[in-house]
Structure formats: structure tokens, C-alpha cells
Amino acid sequence: MKHFHSILILPVLFLSSEMYAQDNDTIMKTIREEYSYDRMLKNSINNNPANMLGSRKYQLTVFNIFTQNNDTPNEIKQKGNGKNLWGAQASTHQILDPKTVVWGNASYSQGKNKQVVWNENADYDIIYPYVAADSVGGDMKFENYSFSGGYSKQINSYTLGVTGSYKASLSYRDIDPRPKNTAATFSLALGAHKMMFGKFKIGAYVEAEKYTQKHYLSFVSNQGFPMIYNMNGLGNYNELLSGKLRQAYYEGWTYGGGLQIFEAENRSWYLTAGIKQFNLDKLLTEYADLNASKINEQQFNFSLGKFFETGKISWGISAIGNHINRKGTENLFLNDNSRNYIQIGSAEKYSHRVTNVVLKGILEMEHQNAKSSLLPYFGFIQEKEKYTTPLSIIDLNKLIYGADYQWMKIFTDKLALSVSMGVSVTDVYKKDAIFNSFSKPAIQQMLQENYSFQSADFWQAKLDINFHFNLPVIKNAYVGGKMIYSNFKNSNNMLFAATIGGIF
């Protein structure tokens, strides 16, 4: 809770800097910009911190408290059956002058992931498949906090930018098995862009990120404890290391960069591309930091868009794509004695490739003090996960299509309402799987249940409402609620979230 006090102090620090109070009319314009689908579609341009200058017309400072209840019986076992949490967040985007912008964010949350099984670690999406696992599991409590900030400055025809962030988390369980995971991520990005011929800008950025996680697993009961597996992917595990090791240290580095070119005045067209290289080592701290396995991952992403405006009607089209290729290498050991492992080789056995592309259209119409936006989209996902020896494969092809709709109404300079809704369908048109038949029955059951979820068709509906108003004591307050319903063949997932806060 000591970190939460920092979050509460942050809005005061924001307001004590060189900011000026905005009148209600400006606040309403800011709110309108905040919810704009058009701004959200162009957000990939801001991967370059230099491009934050000009990303908004109005400055914004927000403080809110939020809560979320998510039930997900349809999910892979390693991520649990849902999540309950609450937290607080403060963020600011301040235009100090036409050539300078600063921004920052701070947040704190705590809660629990419900019924997490076959995973005793934190940050599964970062470190998979090399997790400690057992069939008992249980609710996993957590605390997360993060801080970030950035600065962008124009100097003649060049604009320079820098941004950094720090995220940390603690996850644990109070009953056997009792994992304790502490994770931290520090990132830094530097970027620049140049105005060309007074019409468009060309930019580039580089970024680096350091990730660490310390894992410790303990038991209190004297009645024995379940088998702890050191998983290697798709139900396969290291038999030599399983059942013995309860401590591990994960250390990873990410390096990357990207290019952008976009229309200077309104960003009415843009093209971006980026690459990342991620490497992660799993070290066994009980055995002199023995390197058990490694992850090598390459990422490529792109986005492009073109937008038009005719009177009070604007429209456009965009495309977003991403490709991830993750490979896992296991080190092989000779067990000389109970405390001495000698590496005798290594083998690259695991791979996971994911490609997705989404096409989006946008149509926005303004009439008096209201604005409506329609965002239809269509995309596909190709995913193949493989373990070579013994052979295990999951091969999936999916289509995703749907539409989001938003209606925003400004009633007075003190009252506004935003309503967003959407429907989408995920259609798995190709699926195939092969699993290692030598795995234990409990692992086989986990694989089959995970595959049933991964290969399932489902449709989803969502509703998001935010109401902005003035109170005698709290000016520019707002409350919001969100619901997401996902319908599967035999059951459904449901998310509810609520937010209350203020804009300064």
C-alpha cells in the first residue's frame, strides 16, 4: 500500500507544475478528443516519443479509481478463471508551449487471479513456456504499480523525444503451493522526426527494455506436496529438473526500433513499421545460476491509414499487422550428483509463430453537439505452436470480424455522455492438434481443455458508458461502466468494470 500513496500525491504534483486551469468549454473539447476513434487509430504513430508533440490539440490531466470483476471459465488454465481487482491511476498530457509537450502516468492496482493452475509464475505471456507448474494451483494475489513519463521538444525542423517507464509487481499465494514472484520492467525510448517540404514528417526511434522475475516456491504442510514440473511447452517438461527446484530467476532484454512517415498537419495519412528482438534466460538460482532454458523472439509490426474529411463527415481506412516468432532452447545436463549439474548441450525444441492482420474502416458524423462514429473491421490470425521431440502441435487459423459504434453528446458545457458498443465474431476455420501421448493423465487433460478453448468459435458484445458532469465540490467529474460478454458453445465469459474520477 505504500506505493498507493505515491499515486494519490501525483495529481497534486501535476497541478503544481506549469499548468493552467481549463474552462468548461475546453474541457468538453478535451473529452471529445479523448474518446475519438480517429485519435485511437493513429496511436501507433506515437511509438516514437518525438511524435507525441502534435498528437493532441488539448492538454489533459485525469485521476480515477477503478474496479474490475472478470469471470473467464473459457481460458487457458495457466491464466486462471478470471480476475478481481481495484486500483487508481493518474495521467497527464501537458502542452507547455507550441513546441514542447510533456506527459506522465502512474497507476496502482491489487487483486487476485482466480484458480490459476499449471503456472506458479507471474507474467505468463512474457516467460512462457518455461514456467513452474503443478496440478493444484489456486487463487493468486497480486499488486502492480507503474510509472512513466516523457518529453518532446521541437528544435527548428527537428523534433526530439524521450520516454521511460518502470513497472513492478508482486504475486503470491497464502496456501500451499506458496509461490512468491517479484517482477520488474524498465524501458527507455529515444526518437526524432523531421519536417519535410512543410507537408509531411519522417521519424525514427530506438528502444530498450530490461525484464526480471524472481520466483520462489515453498510449502508449509508436512503431509507432502504435489509434483512441481519445469515445463518446456505443450505439456512437455524437463524430467531431470522437475520435482526438485523451487527457485528461479528470469532475465530478459528487448531491443527494437521503428520508422514512421505521416502527414504533418492532421496526420490524415501515415505509415509505420517496427521491429523488436527479445531474449530471455531462465536461471536456476539453487544451482549457481544454472541456465536451464532460453527464449529468442522476433517481432515485426506495421500500420497504415488514410483519412478524409468533407464538411461534418469524415471517413478513412487503416490496416494493422503483427508477426511474432518465438523459439525456445533447452539446455541439456548431466546430473553428476544431487547438487551438481553439468551442461552437455542444448536443443531448440519449441516454437510459436503468430501472424495477425486487421483492416478497419471509420465513418464519423457530427450534428449539433453530438458525434457518432462507426468502426467496422475484419482480420485474420494464423497461429502455430510446436514442440519437436516428442512431437506436439497446435495449428489454428481464425477470422475476426465485427463493428464498434460510438455516440457522444455534449448537452451543456458541464454535461456530456459517451456511449460505445460493439459486436465481434471469432471464427476458427482451420484447426489441428497433436499431443505427446506419453504425458501424464493430468497434463493430457490440461492440454485438451486448453485446446478446446483455443479452437472454439465465439461471439462477443461490449458496452462502455462514460458520463461527465460538474458537482459543487468536484468540478469536471465523471463515472463510467464497462461490460464485455463473450459467448462460447457451452458457457460464457463476463467482465464488469467501473470507474470514477475527475479531469483537471
The domain spanning residue 121 has which CATH number? Answer: 2.40.170
Longest dimension (CA), the chain: 79
Which residue shows C-alpha cell 465481434? 424
Q: Where are the strands (E) in 117-177, listed by range?
A: 132-133, 138-155, 158-172
Tell me which residue range forms the domain holding 123: 2-503
CB atoms within 10 A of CB 174: 9
The H or E element containing residue 175 is none
The one-letter code for the residue type at 392 is: S
Q: Is 49 exposed, middle or buried (0-12, 13-18, 19+ CB in 10 A)?
A: buried
Helices (H), 317-440: none
For residue 14, what pLDDT is reported?
A: 43
For residue 70, what pLDDT is reported?
A: 98
For residue 346, what pLDDT is reported?
A: 93
257 neighbors 275 (Cβ within 8 angstroms):
yes
Cell of 475: 468540478
Q: In percent, how much of the chain has pLDDT > 90? A: 81
Distance CA 72, CA 494 (A): 7
Per-residue CA distances from 146 to 90, 138, 250 (Å)? 11, 26, 20
Indicate the number of domains in the chain.
1
Low-confidence ranges of the chain (pLDDT < 70): 1-25, 224, 244, 336-339
Q: Is 4 exposed, middle or buried (0-12, 13-18, 19+ CB in 10 A)?
A: middle
Q: Is the dihedral of CA 491, 492, 493, 498 positive or negative?
A: negative
Distance CA 183, CA 123 (A): 8
For residue 6, what pLDDT is reported?
A: 44
Residue burial 484-504, b: 16+ Cβ < 10 Å; e: rest: bebeeeeebbebebebebbbb
